[in-house]
Structure 1
Amino acid sequence: MNLKSLIYILCLFIPLVEGCSTDLGNYDYKDINAIAITGLLENTHPTGRIYEIPFHDTLRLNPTVTGSLSGSDTSLLTFEWKVDAVTVSNTKNLFYVANKRYGKISAEFRVTDKSTGTKTSYSCFLNIVNPYKWGYYVLTQNRAKEASLYCLSSIAKKNSFDKVLLSNLNNLGKNPLSISGTKKYGASSSDFFNVLTIAVEDAVNPVVVIDSREFVPTLLYNSSSYVGGGNFVFRPTQVQADLFHEVIYAVNEGKFHVLRKGTIALPAFINDPSDYKVAPNGIATPLGNARFFMSIYDENNKRVRVWDNGITSNEYNYVNDYEGIAGEELMNGKTFIACSYANIPSINQIYLFSQDRQLYSYRLDYGADYKPIAFSQLGTAVAPTSSRIGYVYFDGRTSRWYLAAGKTIYMASYLGLALQKYVQLPSDAIGDIVKFKILDGKVMIATNDTANGKQGSIYIYNANTMVLEQAHKHVVDEIVDVHLGILVE
């Protein structure tokens, strides 16, 4: 290309550039009024925005809506709340009564800018639950010995114990025995419900297993649940749910039975020539290994019995009853108090006895072949008070003994039984401690005042600080047992 041609092309290009530069501002640009929704649960995904609402309770949400141009002026905005795909409100605030159904329900809040038609939305879930899904549970009896269940919900806002009625059951029966439970978890530590086991001595269904999500019985055990047929009458005197397996242990006519999947198994060692009888507090289930091993205190023969199933796949069918275990004589002449599983390396079971005012703790050791070798003494101590020792509880999570006497709970390590005060009720507490449980960072203590119409009182302490957090005086009938099933704080 020659110089003359190049100059000609440049002359054509320069006016075009000048024309583009002078065209700035010929187009109309508008800023968008970006809507921000705050004041609600925040998470990167709607599945992390879940509002727990007790059935029949009310959810009130008051979001803050601002525009990048309009600020807090909402005069040009419209609002819509949808729950389960149905419009329930056309205002900014939501007032929703959860009375349709249980479970997780989708919800959406939509804001529309009328001036531009721009829509902004926020999605979440409403988890409609039974108010008694989590809470403090109390099993009681009135003066006619009729059983009732009460719950202080840790979900609902109401701070009182409510009587809980069970679907498909007219009543629980008479002479209640115990309430125990385990947790069933979903996708996270906060996604759980309680599986409760309620035992009543005289009832159509003496053992009832309940799903706390809707408080419906999932398993009913009665005389017809027995696999052996005949004239079997199920009238248990002790019932204990396994903490690790979906199994329940029951004592009926003094004999040990395993309950699972709706059936009551034959009694262990039904033809025992010494006619054993399980003592109160006399079931020690090894930590997670009860399908292979079991130990009970035999009230008739005044000795610890040790059983196993031969370490076979035939779970809970105990075939070996060990006699002559070394160290059995250590317990001679002493009064049995309680036994338990032990969450202690190399120790499967632990036992507590007394003689005069002296307390004695024993352990059972097993060999490499999983057969019992010997009993040995762990510790001994003088009883902390001359008052009668009431409820005794071994907490496998902390490996400590807890004893109630009067209005005080004493604590001791399993190693030495060096008893010290754990908690003492306020001076205005009426009645002695009848039951207590330590779980989920709380201590739940029950007392009964026989002179009062509503005899039962509940005291709830923080287990870490030992600060009294709640006192409910004379709120329920005579208390038989308690259980905690709350979210760990």
Structure 2
Amino acid sequence: MMNRSKVTYILTALLLLLGGCSKDLGNYNYQDVNKIEISGILEGDHTTNRIFEIPYKDTLTLNPSVVGTLSQNDMSNLEFSWMVDSIKVAASKDLVYVADKRYGRINAEFSVLDKSTGLTTKYNCFFNVVNPYKWGYYALTEDKEYNAAIYCLSTISKSPKWESIFMPTYPELGKNPITLSGRKQYGSSASDFYNILTLGVKDAVNPVVVIDSREFTPTLFYSSSSYLGTGSFVFKPTQVVTDPLDKMVYVVNNGKFHVLQKGIIPIGAFEQSDYEIAPNGIATPFRYGKYFMSIYDQKNKKIRVWGNGMSGNSFAYTHDYENIPGISLPDGKEFLACSFAGIPSINQIYLFKDGNNLTSYRLDYDASYTPSQLVMQATGSMPAAGNIGYVFYDIMTDVWYMTVGNTIYSASYMGVQFQKFLSLPVSEKGSIVKFKAFDGKIMVAVNDSSAAKPGSIYIYNAKTMQLEQSFPNILDKIVDVHLGILED
């Protein structure tokens, strides 16, 4: 048995220990750590939300804000480092970086070392080095010798100006340009896209070229050797149309219709038939696109509808629907334009002129997916005296547009009652040759043959209809334009 003195000693020791612990409570000093916060540049929860777009050879300047929770703006104990593509490019808070090493998405890291604590705070991001012509306003021109050229007003360059685009891998575009069109190719977000452009030039080694705007390099070539048929074939297209909803290019060569895809030119539709497609005469397909196509045959003065009998052989037309009820309604009228239409019960729509009168027609399909009838849709009058410059149907708004002189007129597909839509500044003496509306902008191209540089460009805000940029008489004769910009 433990004696009394030993028990007393143990209890006393425990009390002293407990008392000491209790006595020390609240006497510890908790010192805050100086936490470094980086702000003032792109923020986001993930590095993919912090992407800086830099045109190749342009300079990116970043001035981040660096603040310590204790040191505030005192940076005397801080060391900075900028790493780009795993190479240290700066030892300062601010970065001035010339993007002249390579294209593509490059890793970048900003580090702040607090020497007083030994802790490092990092900010990671991407520098996406792109061709300055990846996004922009594009214009296809021809000079007095009919040489084709592409110009771009970049929307990602810091000092935007119209510049001629030179492609080292394809330096000679050819002569007698026809068209420049395209579509967007999206990545992971609405702002992650580039433009796929289709260039058409009648007299060229490759009359049709598909171009990737990321480095502005051709990716598909179409030439006479691309033809699948036999015998003599010379590829000199007079029309080149990009399908707005599919990866197809439609061309008219020697009057005949061809569907281009994957670098191949198939045998023309009804190649042995005696027909010739009119300018603006391709009504690209919509709901029944893989099975039906409509064109206007200017040689025989008639609307023609082609199909493949729902065989599943996409875009290969083998059946000519010649006896559609109402198909002769436009006889004797001057054809202006046609298009597919994004309207319920209407597949294709056509516009004709007879003197001062305008008439539109629609092509209906029945429940068995065959063309059932051509019906008069609406009538109206010419909006103004003068030569018609450009007519087209906007599938996004279901509106007809027509240019006369330097004024654009518009009309609903329901009425064809054209009203003034936009007039260029009174100082402009030329006539509108093309215009396109996209991503909240309206781009208008004008040619004035009396000027040394006939081509002018006007850019309007489509929401306010206010003129935002004007470039009078800065380009050669303009043939076509295209918009490939980030929407406001």
TM-score band by shorter chain is over 0.9
Q: By how many angstroms is 1:11 displaced?
A: 5.0
- The 5-angstrom pairing of residues 219-230 of structure 1 reads 219-230=220-231
CA drift at 1:23: 3.5
Structure 1 contact 202–235 (Cα < 8 Å) conserved: yes
Alpha-carbon spacing, 1:486–1:28, altered in 2? closer, same or farther (3 Å): same
More off after superposition, 105-114 vs 449-458: 449-458
Answering whether residue 68 of structure 2 is matched by residue 67 of structure 1, we say: yes
For residues 309 and 166 of structure 1, the distance between their equivalents in structure 2, rounded to whole angstroms, comes to 40
- The alignment yields a C-alpha RMSD, in angstroms, of 1.9
Give the secondary-structure state (helix, strand or coil) at the position aligned to 1:331: coil
Fraction of identical pairs, as percent? 55
- Does structure 1 residue 341 correspond to structure 2 residue 340? yes
Report the secondary structure of 1:47's partner residue: helix
Q: Structure 1: which 5+ runs fail to align?
A: none
| 1:244–1:288 contact (8 Å) kept in structure 2 | no
- Please give the per-residue CA displacement for 1:20-69, whole angstroms capped at 9, x wherever unaligned: 24445876653321111111111011111111111111110000111112
Matched, 1:237 2:241: no
Partner of 1:311: 310
Which aligned pairs between 1:70-469 and structure 2 lie closer than 5 A? 70-272=71-273, 275-287=274-286, 289-469=288-468
- Distance in 1 (CA, whole Å) between partners of 2:440 and 2:86 is 40
Q: Which moved more, 1:239-248 or 1:17-26?
A: 17-26
Q: Which amino acid aligns with 1:72?
A: N
Amino acid at match of 1:243: P
Normalising by structure 2, we get a TM-score of 0.96
Looking at structure 2, the residues matched to 377 and 73 of structure 1 have their Cα atoms a distance apart, in angstroms, of 78
CA distance in 2, matches of 1:268, 1:234: 15
Cα pair 1:285 1:341 within 8 Å, conserved: yes
CA separation in 2, counterparts of 1:238 and 1:334? 22
CA contact (8 A) 1:337 1:352 kept: yes
Structure 2 distance, partners of 1:5, 1:404, is 113
Does structure 2 retain, via aligned residues, the 8 Å contact 1:196–1:209? Answer: yes
Report how far residue 5 of structure 1 moved: 12
Offset at 1:89? 0.3
Deviations, residues 104-139 of structure 1 (Å, cap 9, x unaligned): 111100001112211111111111111111110100
Q: CA deviation at 1:9?
A: 7.4
Q: Secondary structure at the match of 2:197?
A: strand
Structure 2 CA distance for aligned equivalents of residues 52 and 152 of structure 1: 16
State the alpha-carbon separation in 1 of the partners of residues 307 and 137 from structure 2. Answer: 36
CA 1:415–1:5: 2 relative to 1, 3 Å:
farther
What is the CA-CA distance between 1:6 and the residue it aligns to? Answer: 10
Give yes or no for contact 2:366–2:372 (8 Å, CA) kept in 1. yes
Give the Cα–Cα distance (whole angstroms) in 1 for the partners of residues 287 and 187 of structure 2.
21
Q: Secondary structure at the match of 1:263?
A: coil
- Give the direction of change, closer, same or farther, for the CA distance of 1:455–1:83 in structure 2 (3 Å limit): same
Q: Tell me the amino acid that sits aligned with residue 413 of structure 2.
A: Y
| Cα distance in 2, alignment partners of residues 198 and 116 from structure 1 | 60
User: Residues 358 and 381 of structure 2 are in contact (CA less than 8 Å); yes or no, is this contact kept in structure 1?
Assistant: yes
> Residue 10 of structure 1: CA displacement?
6.3
> Alignment partner of 2:151: what SS?
strand
Question: CA–CA distance in 2 between the matches of 1:150 and 1:447?
Answer: 15
| Distance (whole Å) between structure 2 residues aligned to residue 83 and residue 41 of structure 1 | 16
Whole-angstrom CA distance in 2 between matches of 1:416 and 1:167: 50
- Maintained 8 Å contact 1:167/1:217: no
Aligned counterpart, 1:473: 472
Letter in 2 for 1:376: V
Residues of 2 paired with 1:421 and 1:34: CA distance? 62
The 1:289/1:243 distance shift into structure 2, 3 A limit, reads farther
Q: Structure 1 CA distance, aligned partners of 2:329 and 2:143? A: 42
Which residue identity lines up with residue 59 of structure 1 in the other structure? L
Structure 2 CA distance for aligned equivalents of residues 309 and 430 of structure 1: 48
Name the CA distance, whole Å, in 2 between partners of 1:210 and 1:409. 30
1:185-208, CA deviations, whole angstroms, 9 ceiling, x for partnerless residues?
111111111110000111111001
Distance 2:29 2:364 in 1: 88
Structure 1 residue matching 2:472: 3-state secondary structure: strand
The answer to whether the Cα contact below 8 Å between 2:363 and 2:374 also exists between their aligned partners in 1 is yes
Distance 2:287 2:98 in 1: 43
- Distance (whole Å) between structure 2 residues aligned to residue 292 and residue 191 of structure 1: 33
Count of residues paired in the alignment: 486
The letter of the residue matching 2:343 is I
Measured in 2, the distance between the counterparts of 1:116 and 1:297 equals: 78
Q: SS of the residue aligned with 1:330?
A: coil
- When structure 1 is superposed on structure 2, of 445-454 and 234-243 the one drifting more is 445-454
**TM-score for both structures, normalised by structure 1:** 0.96
Q: Kindly provide the amino acid, as one letter, of the partner of residue 291 in structure 2.
A: F
Give the 3-state SS of the residue equivalent to 1:391 in structure 2: strand
Counterparts of 1:91 and 1:312, CA distance in 2: 67
For the residues of structure 2 that align with 1:90 and 1:370, how far apart are their CA atoms?
68
